[in-house]
Chains A and B, each alone.
Chain A
Amino acid sequence: MPRYFFHLRHGPGPDGLARDPEGDDLTGPAEVRARALAVARDLIVRTRLHAVPDWFACAFEVTDAQGRPVMTVPFSDTVTEDDEA
C-alpha cells in the first residue's frame, strides 16, 4: 500500500504548515479522503489547541511518498459530507 502524508495547514506561509513526518499506509485516494475527514472531525470535536482558534479554517494538504500533492481536504468539508452521502 502506498504511504500518504497528511500535512496540516493551519495558517499562511511555511510556518502555517505542520508537516507530517510519519504518514499512513492507505489503499488510494478514496481512503485518503475518508481518513482526512475522520481525523478532521475528531480534531474539531475533541481537541482544544490554543494555537488553532478555528479548526474550520484548517485543511489537510496530502502528499505521496515523493512529496507530490495528492489532494487538499478542507476541514469545512466535514460539514457537507453527510449531505452528499
Chain B
Amino acid sequence: MPQPQQANVRNRLLRAMAPEDFARLQPHLETMAVQMREPMIAPDRPVEELFFVESGIVSITTGHDESRIEVGMVGREGLVGAAPVLLHADRTPHLHFVQVSGEVLSIGREPFCDAVEASAALRRLLLRYVHTVMIQAAQTAHAHAALGLEGRLARWLLMCHDRVDGDELTLTHEFLSMMLGVQRAGVTLTLQNLEGAGRIRAKRRRIEVLDREKLRALTNGSYGVPEAEYARLIEGR
C-alpha cells in the first residue's frame, strides 16, 4: 500500500502539522483496519505503537469489567497513545479499545519519538493535543458530577456524532450503559425521552441524531469546551 499523503489523510493532527513534520512521520505510518472491541492499548503494558485515527472511534476506559467507565473518546481529531508516550510515562492504567470500527495509521514508538525529538514544532503541536485530552477528561468528570443522565447521554451522543460520518450511530443500550456507568434501563428510558422531544430517533442498535442544538441545550455547557480548545490550539480557529 502506498504511503499516505498529507493532502489525503483525514486525521486532523496530521493535517494540521507542518509539511516537514508530516514528512518525518510519513515513512513510518502504516494503514490498519480496526474492528469494534479490539484493544489498541492494554492497561499497564509498555506502549509500543501509537495510532492516528482516520475513521472510527477509540474509547479510553478506567476500572475493570463491571465497573468500567469511559473517561476519554478519540476519533479523527486524535492520536491514541499520545499522553503516555509524549509525557514519558511508558504505559497507562487505562484500556484503549475500538468503540466504532474504522481505520488508523499506526506508528512505532521509536520512530515517533525520534520525530518529536527532532522537531520542537511537532512536539508543541502534540503536547497541545494532550492538553485537550486532559480537558476532555476533566469535562467528563464535571458532567458525571453536575448533570443528570439526560445531559450526560446528550453530551456523549454529540461527541460520538462529531467523530462519525453521517447522523447514525450504531450502538446497543448495553454498550451505552457501560460507557456512562449506569444501568441499561436508565439508558433505555432516557433515549425514549430524547426521542419524544425530537432530539434523536432510536432504532434497534442504532441511534440517529436529529437535532444537535436541542441535545446541546441539555449539556449545560459541558459539551464543547475541549472541542473549542482543540480548534483554537491545533487548528488556529
Q: Which residues of A contact B (CB under 8 A)?
A: 6, 8, 10, 15, 18-22, 39, 42-43, 46-52, 60
Least Cβ–Cβ distance between A37 and chain B, in angstroms:
12
Task: For A52, list chain B residues within 8 Å (CB).
Answer: 189
Interface residue from B148, B174, B183, B196 paired with A50 (Cβ < 8 Å): B148
Query: Would you call A51 and B183 a contact (CB within 8 A)?
Result: no
Query: Would you call B150 and A50 a contact (CB within 8 A)?
Result: yes
B101 within 8 A of A: no
Task: For B196, list chain A residues within 8 Å (CB).
Answer: 15
Which of B150, B172, B183 has the most chain A CB atoms inside 10 A of its CB? B183
**Nearest-neighbor residue (CB-CB) of B192 within chain A:** A18
Listed A/B pairs (9) with beta-carbon separation below 8 Å = A8-B188, A18-B189, A21-B173, A22-B174, A22-B184, A39-B183, A47-B182, A48-B148, A49-B148
Q: List 6 A-B pairs, minimum CB-CB distance, nearest first.
A: A18-B189, A48-B148, A8-B185, A18-B188, A18-B192, A49-B149
**Nearest-neighbor residue (CB-CB) of B204 within chain A:** A21
Instruction: Kindly state the interface size class of chain B when it binds its partner.
Output: 10 to 19
Question: A30 to B182, alpha carbons, bound, how many Å?
Answer: 23
B106 within 8 A of A: no
Query: Would you call B182 and A46 a contact (CB within 8 A)?
Result: yes
For the A-B complex, the count of residue pairs with Cβ-Cβ distances under 8 Å equals 51
Query: Would you call B184 and A47 a contact (CB within 8 A)?
Result: no
Q: Is the interface of B mostly helix, strand, loop or mixed?
A: helix
Mark contacts of B183-203 with chain A using CB atoms, 8 A cut-off: 1 yes-contact digit, 0 otherwise.
Answer: 111101110110010000000
**Nearest-neighbor residue (CB-CB) of A17 within chain B:** B192
Question: A6 to B185, alpha carbons, bound, how many Å?
Answer: 7
Query: Would you call A51 and B150 a contact (CB within 8 A)?
Result: yes
Question: A39 to B189, alpha carbons, bound, how many Å?
Answer: 13
Which of A46, A51, A60 has the most chain B CB atoms inside 10 A of its CB? A51
**Nearest-neighbor residue (CB-CB) of B218 within chain A:** A50
Query: Would you call A8 and B149 a contact (CB within 8 A)?
Result: no
Query: Would you call A18 and B185 a contact (CB within 8 A)?
Result: yes
Task: For A18, list chain B residues within 8 Å (CB).
Answer: 185, 188-189, 192
**Nearest-neighbor residue (CB-CB) of A15 within chain B:** B196
Interface residue from A15, A46, A51, A60 paired with B185 (Cβ < 8 Å): A60
Question: A63 to B214, alpha carbons, bound, how many Å?
Answer: 34
Query: Would you call B182 and A51 a contact (CB within 8 A)?
Result: no
Task: For B188, list chain A residues within 8 Å (CB).
Answer: 8, 18-21
Task: For A8, list chain B residues within 8 Å (CB).
Answer: 185, 188-189
Task: For B183, list chain A residues within 8 Å (CB).
Answer: 39, 42-43, 47
